[in-house]
């Protein structure tokens, strides 16, 4: 049995795509004969405050589904203040260093990136000829931060580029959730071993039941983080509600602004449902005609994991973010695409959606496409084979 450690910033009971992705990876490896342990902060996302069950603790160790979970101290914050966010990342990095000094670390380690500084700390301390490091890159930083307007091309940005390069250089294998990520890595290190590891979900697929398409307005839903990158607040302002009723699930930095917008503009046909559990959300989503996946700006390397989750639910999608995600929607015929950042084109696409295009046959076809092409277990089997091929097991 091979011991393997996963270092991540997000893990259940935290919610969201990042937490689910790492949990399924850990669970999948355990079922394939690995002895898995996870190193993560005390749960605090997305509230920016350590969950009540863990408050006052410096660390917590538990076992669930044969996976050992070590939760370490963090100065939790989701503040917009860059200094406080930096302190939060550095505090977890400090906890990691302390853990590395006093515990035996397995010879195979999977490190989640971003956050870039946390990945750097792990790579810096754990690089060794006897240890194999696997870097799981879900977004390209600092490039993504530059495109989101969080960074400027100054001395700090150049330092982050050096950290990014250091991480890639010392990883034995790099997993990337998009072709764009892997292209970027190999542009810097052409001989680096890489593997395309998409954020495929792993849940029991509900039966696609016959439903009546909404009469009059189509019911369109957004579910997920209400952050700056998604731009749901601006979307609410720009949508033409002639043809749709817009439903929103989730929480985040923009949720109060969205609530205020709805309260001050009752003529806008928007319904905000707040946050619900993932299981409840799946049951709710299948009641809608279609879902929208927006990004405020096209982010190089980013492929929203919602694409694969909604496809498994058989839910037609309207993609509004550009890049590789747009290509996936088109290639697998998962729905419609609107030109990134062009709200006039988005409203035009919505106005032309034919209710007959969201019938049960279309939903069943999307579901079958997901089961065949976005299969978590098939992908994980290929990853384990890759581990063997590059001598990581």
**So where are the chain's domains?**
3-200+375-389, 218-373
pLDDT at 239 over 70: yes
pLDDT at 126 over 90: yes
Which region among 25-34, 205-214, 251-260, 381-390 has the lowest average model confidence (pLDDT)?
A: 205-214
Backbone dihedral region for residue 60 (phi beyond 0: left; psi -120 to 50: alpha; all else: beta): beta
Full 3-state SS string of the chain? CCEEEEECCCCCCCCCHHHHHHHHHHHHHHHCCCEEEEEEECCCCCCCCCCHHHCCCCEEEEEECCEEEEEECCCCCCCCCHHHHHHHHHHHHHHHHHHHHHCCCCCEEEEEECCHHHHHHHHHHHCCCCCEEEEEECCCCCHHHHHCCCCCCCHHHHHHHHHHHHHHHHCCEEEECCHHHHHHHHHHCCCCCEEECCCCCCCCCCCCCCCCCCCCCEEEEEECCCCCCCCHHHHHHHCCCCCEEEEEECCCCCHHHHHHHHHHCCCCCEEECCCCCHHHHHHHHCCCCEEEEECCCCCCCCCCCHHHHHHHCCCCEEEECCHHHHHHHHHCCCEEECCCCCHHHHHHHHHCCCHHHHCHHHHHHHHHHHHHHCCHHHHHHHHHHHHHHCCCC
Give residue 263's pLDDT band: very low, low, confident or very high (50, 70, 90): very high
Q: The pTM is what?
A: 0.86
pLDDT at 197 (0 to 100): 94
pLDDT at 227 over 90: no
Instruction: Report the topology of domain 218-373.
Output: Rossmann fold (3.40.50)
Higher pLDDT, 151 or 174: 174
pLDDT at 314 over 80: yes
pLDDT at 13 over 80: yes
pLDDT at 48 (0 to 100): 78
318-368 pLDDT, tens digit each: 999 888 999 999 999 999 999 998 999 999 999 999 887 788 888 989 999
161-214 pLDDT, tens digit each: 899 999 999 999 999 999 999 999 999 999 999 999 998 988 877 777 666 666
pLDDT at 66 over 70: yes
pLDDT at 313 over 70: yes
pLDDT at 83 (0 to 100): 74
pLDDT at 28 (0 to 100): 93
Do domains 3-200+375-389 and 218-373 share one topology? The answer is yes
Instruction: Report the topology of domain 3-200+375-389.
Output: Rossmann fold (3.40.50)
How far is residue 147 CA from its own chain's centroid? 17
pLDDT at 392 over 70: no
Instruction: Give the rounded percent of residues in the chain with a pLDDT score beyond 70.
Output: 96
């Amino acid at each position: 049995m091979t011991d393997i450690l996963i270092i991540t910033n997000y893990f259940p009971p935290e919610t969201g795509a990042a937490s689910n992705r790492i949990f399924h990876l850990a669970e999948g490896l355990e079922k394939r004969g690995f002895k898995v342990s996870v190193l993560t902060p005390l749960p605090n996302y997305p509230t920016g405050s350590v969950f009540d069950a863990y408050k006052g603790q410096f660390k917590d160790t538990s076992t669930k589904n044969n996976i050992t979970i070590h939760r370490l101290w963090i100065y939790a914050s989701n503040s917009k203040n860059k200094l406080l966010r930096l302190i939060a990342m550095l505090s977890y990095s400090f906890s990691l260093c302390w853990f590395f000094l006093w515990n035996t670390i397995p010879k195979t380690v999977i490190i989640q990136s971003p956050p870039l500084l946390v990945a750097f700390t792990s790579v810096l301390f754990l690089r060794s000829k006897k240890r194999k490091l696997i870097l799981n890159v879900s977004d390209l930083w600092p490039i993504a931060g530059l495109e989101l307007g969080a960074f400027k091309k100054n001395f700090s940005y150049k330092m982050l580029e050096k950290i990014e390069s250091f991480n890639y250089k010392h990883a034995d294998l790099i997993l990337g959730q998009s072709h764009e990520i892997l292209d970027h890595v190999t542009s810097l290190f052409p001989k680096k071993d890489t593997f395309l590891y998409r954020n495929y979900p792993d849940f029991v697929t509900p039966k696609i039941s016959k439903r009546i398409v909404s009469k009059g307005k189509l019911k369109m839903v957004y579910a997920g983080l209400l952050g700056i990158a998604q731009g749901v607040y601006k979307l609410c302002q720009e949508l033409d509600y002639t043809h749709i009723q817009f439903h929103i699930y989730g929480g985040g930095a923009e949720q109060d602004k969205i609530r205020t917008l709805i309260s001050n503009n009752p003529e806008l046909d928007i319904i905000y449902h707040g946050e619900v559990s993932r299981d409840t959300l799946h049951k709710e989503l299948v009641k809608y005609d279609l879902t929208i996946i927006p990004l405020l700006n096209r982010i190089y390397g980013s492929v929203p994991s919602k694409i694969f989750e909604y496809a498994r639910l058989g839910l037609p999608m309207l993609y509004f973010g550009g890049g590789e995600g747009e290509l996936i929607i088109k290639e697998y015929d998962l729905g419609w695409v609107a030109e990134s950042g062009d709200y006039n084109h988005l409203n035009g696409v919505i106005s032309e959606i034919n209710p007959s295009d969201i019938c049960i046959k279309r939903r069943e076809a999307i579901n079958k496409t997901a089961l065949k092409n976005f299969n978590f277990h098939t992908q994980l089997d290929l990853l384990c084979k890759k581990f063997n091929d590059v001598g990581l097991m």
